[in-house]
Structure 1
Amino acid sequence: MDISELVRIRAQRPEAVEEAAARRPRRSLLGESGRLMIVAADHPARGALSVGDRRLAMANRIDLLERLCLALSRPGVDGVLATADILDDLLLLGALDHKVVMGSMNRGGLAGAAWELDDRFTGHRPRDIERLRFDAGKLLLRIDYDDPGSLTTLESTARAVDDMAERQLPVFVEPFLSRRDPTGTLRNDLGADAVTRSIAIASGLGGSSAYTWLKVPVTENPDDMARVMETSTLPAVLLGGEVGADQEGAYEKWRGALQLPTVQGLVVGRSLLYPADGEVGAAVDTAVGLL
């Protein structure tokens, strides 16, 4: 990958990004399989650069782009979820042709910040997604019952759902019930009751749910997923979560949940782009095989 050429285009022809977006061949959200396999790379814009014990693993942009291009080239990978900077690079590299492109909408809740729950919409706006001919948007909704500021996040999320529905653009809502532990660190509750409640809240946002999808975690006890996913009829995808030592265990959790009627696919990032053995292609192929 020639970083010099990428920087030259950005410096001398910034209009090349929108030109590439305008000529990009598109596809439907769901392909012939009726399933969805999306690679996520929107973590850096929230300051979340770590992968496992590698604190700045995602900080090398060329390395990340090479991993993304490899993942996108594998059979069965439908597309990518990322922020504008990464999607602009991928557009210029021609890596998004015939792929589903999802813009990440709210990245204001920086990882570890005092205002992390005040997750404002600092990424793609609905009109950006429409203008660039992208295929969907994604937003993160973390709710802390002890933080009055969560109400502001909830309301802004509802308005974003409305704006996307007006444009007939799918929006993937990733809900969590969250709380701060005694050290002040924000934790997402993956218990069955908490995930059930978060799905119920997210499903009712906005004036129409016609274009709303859910992006949900597998619960702490995977056996609870069938009951949890009965909470809504909205189509859903599973998120990958943190990179752990037991990747095979993660695959098994995904495999079971993918059998549920509302679960339509996977949106996975770091565990596929930065697998413990370094074999990106093999990790992606394994995940695709689960579908």
Structure 2
Amino acid sequence: MRDLDRAMLVDTRAASPGAVAEAAHRRPRRDVRPDGRLMLIAADHPARGSLGVGDRPLAMASRVELLDRLLVALSRPGVDGVLATPDVLEDLLLLGALDGKLVIGSMNRGGIPGTAFEFDDRFTAYDAASIEDMGFDGGKMLLRIDPTDPATARTLEGCAHAVTDLAARGRLAMVEPFWVRRDEDGARRNDLSPEAMMRAVAIAQGLGATSAYTWLKVPVVADMERVMEASTLPALLLGGDPSTAPEEIYADWAKALRLPTVRGLVVGRALLYPPDDDVAAAVDTAVGLL
């Protein structure tokens, strides 16, 4: 990012904080594509302290570099919008990068990796009212279901309220479900088996007073055809492990995108921090799969 742009962001935030809301209210909006195929860039990892990409533990620590990469990604043909937390979206608003884009606000980022409360995914960012006030198009929530952790009940309740509140405002509710298992050493991990994902999807789609505005955000796992038979809701594929060879990730996406309920991609680190650092080429390849 040019020094002038960085200085503009800092100066504006310090002297004219109301400029964020003003930029949001004058932002040209758009509708979901008529065919429902979407390409969204995800950038909500830093809000949970998840700064690593592959073997680079602090790859996302530089906000200036992250914004630079987001500006490149959002400028590419076929990219429909972005999913991020308020801090990132407000920088992009001030930079004019969200004009005509779909904007999804990330809502519950309270489960910080490496902490005692890692799986307590409380709502610490957007709520439905603030998403509507900003003129954004929807909200995304993480739903990790640990059958051994009572805090899961609070997450379920919070997500259910968010789905209901977003739907009442005509906003998309994007739910990212995982079933959690405990290994022999007590460590908790997302269970990516087909059976676990089917169970997580079944629970996620039943949240809230209506599912009319609910979309799912799901990983690509084994036996994806059977997993997606668990739902009639539209789904977006989330990005793969950035340490995996890009060709393998793209092949997995291409196969899953042929399934009738899969309507596109929402990808962050795998496209923003590709091994060769060519963001434009990585994004263009992903768009070409749709």
Structure-1-length-normalised TM-score: 0.96
Amino acid across the alignment from 2:19: A
What SS does the aligned partner of 1:58 have?
A: coil
Q: Distance in 2 between matches of 1:258 and 1:179?
A: 27
Q: In structure 2, the residue corresponding to 1:107 is in which secondary structure?
A: coil
**Which residue does 1:85 correspond to in 2?**
87
Identity %: 63
Quote how far apart the aligned CAs of 1:32 are.
4.5
Q: Secondary structure at the match of 2:229?
A: helix
Instruction: Look up the SS of the partner of 2:60 in the other structure.
Output: helix
The structural deviation recorded for 1:6 is: 1.1
Q: Separation in 2 of the partners of 1:280 and 1:98?
A: 21
Alignment gaps of 5+ in structure 2 = none
Q: Is the 8 A contact 1:112 1:185 kept in 2?
A: no
Instruction: Give the equivalent residue in structure 1 for 2:54.
Output: 52
CA contact (8 A) 2:111 2:120 kept: yes
Q: Report deviation, 1:246.
A: 1.3
Shift of 1:280: 0.4
8 Å CA contact 2:53–2:243 kept in 1: the answer is no
Helix, strand or coil at the partner of 1:59: coil
Query: What is the deviation of 1:155?
Result: 1.2
Distance 2:187 2:58 in 1: 19
Q: How do 1:98-113 residues align onto structure 2 when only pairs under 5 Å count?
A: 98-113=100-115
Query: Does 1:23 pair with 2:23?
Result: no
Contact 1:136–1:169 at 8 Å: present in 2 too?
yes
Matches within 5 A, 1:1-291: 1=2, 2-28=5-31, 30-219=32-221, 221=222, 224-291=223-290
How far, CA to CA, are the matches of 1:197 and 1:245 in structure 2? 26
Aligned length: 287
Q: Distance in 1 between matches of 2:76 and 2:25?
A: 24
Check whether the contact 1:112–1:186 (CA below 8 A) recurs between aligned residues: no
Q: Deviations along 1:170-206, whole A, 9 cap, x unmatched? A: 1100000013434554311111000111000001111
TM-aligned CA deviation for residue 245 of structure 1: 3.3
Distance 2:52 2:182 in 1: 20
Q: Deviation string for 1:194-246 (max 9, x for gaps)?
A: 01110000011111000100000111x2xx11111011101100000321231
Aligned partner letter, 2:269: R
Amino acid at match of 1:262: T
CA RMSD of aligned residues (A): 1.1
CA distance in 1, matches of 2:239, 2:188: 18
Matched position secondary structure for 1:237: strand
